[in-house]
Chains A and B, each alone.
Chain A
C-alpha cells in the first residue's frame, strides 16, 4: 500500500467507482433502524392525515360510550366512556406528541449545544460558570421541574413545550462539552488555527460536525423522552385541555382500566410505538453516522 501511494490508478479508480454511500442507504442496511423508520413514518403519516381521515374534533362525542374495538366498523378502535372515537384521538394525538417532542427537543438542542460548545471550547471561567448553571438544572429532577413550570404557567402547548425543552438540555450540554473537549486540543483544531481559521468557524465547521453523531442520537432519544414527559403531564391532568393527547387519553382511561382496559391501552401502545421507533432510529443513526463504520 505504501509503495502504491504515489501513483496508483487502480486503487484510486476503484475507490471513486464505489456507489455513493448515502446516509439513508447506510441506515437501511440495519434491520432495527428500518423497523424504527417504518413506525416513525407511520406516526408521521397519522399526524399528517389526521384532519383528512378524521376531520371532526376528536373531543366530540360521536357514538355510544364503551364501544369495543371491532364492535362497530365505523369506529375500528372503539369509543371511550364519553363516546369519543379512540382512533380519531390517536391520530390527532400523534400531532400533539410529535409537535411537542420536536419543538421541545429543538429548544434543548439550541440551549444544550450552544452551552456545551462554548463551555468546552473556551474553557476556564466561562466553562466553570456555565457548568455550575448546568448542574443547577441537573439537581432538580427534570419531570418535577417541568411539572412545576407547567403548573405555574397554566398548561397549554407552548408552555408544555417550553417546560420540557428548558429542563432537558443539561445532559446534552454535558455531552457536547465532553465531545468538544476531546477535539479542542487535538491536531485537527491546531491545524485549523494554524491555517488562520476563526473560533466560530472552527466550532461550526470542524468541531460540531464531529460531535454530530452522539448529538443526533441523543436528540432522537430526547424527542422520545419529551413525548413521554408530555404524556405523563397530560396523564396527571396537566395537558392542554383543548387538544387531545395520548397521555390525556391514558389518564382518562385509567378509571375504567378494569372493565374497559382498551381505552387506556390503545393510546398507551401509541406512546410505546413512538418512543420505541425513535430509540431504534437513534441507534441506527448512531451506526450510520460514523464514517469509519461505513462499509466501503
Chain B
C-alpha cells in the first residue's frame, strides 16, 4: 500500500503556563489516505481542534508540539521553515472553520478573496485567477457565480459563505482538507448540503478529509473511519460501520447512546441518555484511564495505568474492559437503528 497522504505519528501537544506544562494531546497517531474521510469525534475539550490546527503547523502559543510529528505527503511539517509552511498551507493542506460568518473578510468581495487564495501561491495573472475563482464558485454550486463574484460576504447566507470558504480551501487542490466543525453554525438542511458537497468534491479530486465534529449523525453518513478522542488520547479507531454496529470503548458507547433520536421509547420520546460527569481539565487528569471516573465498567486496574491501544474489531481500542462489552438488549436495538 502506498504511503498515506497524512500521517500523524505519536503526536503530543503541550501548553506551558508559568512553570507547569500541561498536555492537551497525548501520543496520538493516525493516518489518512487519498480520498478518505477520517472523522475525529469527542466532547468539547478533548483535543480535537488543537489536533486539527497542529496538522497545519498552527498550534497557537503557548502551546507547542512536544513529541511526535505530522507528515504530509511524506514531509515532516516540523522540519519546514515558516516560509515553507506557508507554501504548504492552502496549497497542500487547507482548513475550513466552524464560523463562516466571521472567517470571511467583510470588506473584500467573495471573488476577490478566492482570487487572493490563488494569487498567494501561484504566479498567474489576475484575469486567469478571476476565471478560476468563478469556476470554483460554480464548482461549489453557487448559482449565478459570475454575478456573485462581486458580492460582499454580508449579502450571502451562512450556507453560501461556507461554500465560499470551501471554494477557497479547494482553490489549489490540496491533498488534505481539514474541516473543523464545518456545519456546526449552520442549520440542519444546509448542513446536509454542505457535507454532500464536500463528499462530492472529495470524490472528484481525491482529497483526503479530516472531519472534526461532535455530531455522530454526520459521522455515520460521511466518514469512512472514525477516531474517538477522550481527554487528549485516542480511545478508539474503527471503520465507521463497525464502530456504530459494535462500539468497543465505553466512551464511544456513551456517545452513541447519547444521540437524540425520534420515535424511540414508549411514547415516542424519552429522556436523553447522558454520560455522567465532564471531561477532566488539563490539570486534573486522573492517573490511569482518563474516562474511568465516568465509566460504569471501571475497575481498580483502570485507575492504575493508562490502558494501551490494542487491535480489536478491525481497528484499535484503548480499554481494559472492552472485551467485557455488554450492550443491554434495549439499547442495542436502538444502536442498530
A residues whose Cβ falls under 8 Å from a Cβ of B: 1-3, 5-9, 12-13, 15-16, 186-188, 190-198, 201, 205-206, 209-210, 212, 291-292
Contact = CB atoms under 8 A, between A and B. Distances in A.
A197 to B, nearest CB: 5
B193 interface: yes
Contact of A194 (B94, B148, B151, B190): B94
A201 B120 contact: yes
A171 B179 CA distance: 40
A289 to B, nearest CB: 9
Instruction: Give the one of A9, A191, A205, A212 with max B CB within 10 A.
Output: A191
A12 B143 contact: yes
28 contacts: A2-B190, A3-B189, A5-B159, A5-B160, A12-B143, A13-B144, A15-B151, A16-B144, A187-B102, A188-B103, A188-B105, A191-B104, A191-B168, A193-B89, A194-B58, A194-B89, A194-B94, A195-B89, A196-B86, A196-B87, A196-B89, A196-B120, A198-B86, A198-B120, A201-B116, A209-B105, A291-B107, A291-B152
Interface string B12-49: 00000000000000000000000000000000000000
B195 interface: no
Interface residues of B, number: 44
B108 interface: yes
Interface string B87-101: 111110011111100
B330 interface: no
B187 A2 contact: yes
Interface string B171-205: 00000000000000001011001000000000000
Contact of A205 (B116, B144, B152): B116
Contacts of B98: 187
Interface of B: 56, 58, 86-91, 94-99, 102-108, 116-117, 120-121, 141, 143-144, 147-148, 151-152, 154-155, 157, 159-160, 165, 168-169, 187, 189-190, 193
Contact of B103 (A1, A16, A190, A210): A190
Given A196-B87, A196-B91, A191 B147 contact: no
Can you list the 8 inter-chain pairs with the closest CB atoms, starting with the nearest? A196-B90, A195-B90, A196-B89, A194-B95, A16-B147, A5-B159, A191-B103, A187-B103
Contact of A195 (B108, B141, B155, B168): B168
A1 B160 CA distance: 11
Contacts of A16: 144, 147-148, 151
B107 A212 contact: yes
A222 B190 CA distance: 47
A100 B178 CA distance: 53
B92 to A, nearest CB: 9
Contacts of B157: 1-2, 5
Instruction: Give the one of B56, B105, B121 with max A CB within 10 A.
Output: B105
A191 B97 contact: yes
Nearest to A211: B107
Instruction: Give the one of A6, A192, A196 with max B CB within 10 A.
Output: A196
A16 B143 CA distance: 12
B95 A12 contact: no
Contacts of B165: 191
Contacts of A212: 107
A2 B95 contact: no
Given A187-B103, A194-B58, A205-B108, A12 B97 contact: no
Nearest to A9: B143
Contacts of B148: 12, 16
B155 A15 contact: yes
A3 B157 CA distance: 11
A190 B96 CA distance: 10
A14 to B, nearest CB: 11
A89 to B, nearest CB: 43
Contacts of A191: 95-97, 103-104, 165, 168
Given A2-B187, A7-B141, A292-B106, 14 more contacts: A2-B159, A7-B143, A9-B143, A16-B148, A187-B97, A190-B58, A190-B103, A191-B104, A194-B58, A196-B86, A196-B87, A197-B86, A205-B108, A291-B152
A134 B148 CA distance: 44
B102 A292 contact: no
Contacts of A3: 189
B146 to A, nearest CB: 9
A290 to B, nearest CB: 10
Contact of A209 (B99, B108, B187): B108
Given A2-B159, A196-B86, A12 B91 contact: no
Contact of B94 (A9, A188, A195, A201): A195
Nearest to A206: B105
Nearest to A186: B102
B89 A291 contact: no
Contacts of B90: 194-197
Contacts of A2: 157, 159, 187, 189-190
B201 to A, nearest CB: 15
A274 to B, nearest CB: 30
Contacts of A198: 86, 120
Contacts of A8: 143
Contacts of B103: 187-188, 190-191
Contacts of B152: 291
Contacts of A201: 116, 120
Instruction: Give the one of B90, B108, B187, B193 with max A CB within 10 A.
Output: B90
Given A193-B89, A194-B56, A6 B193 contact: yes
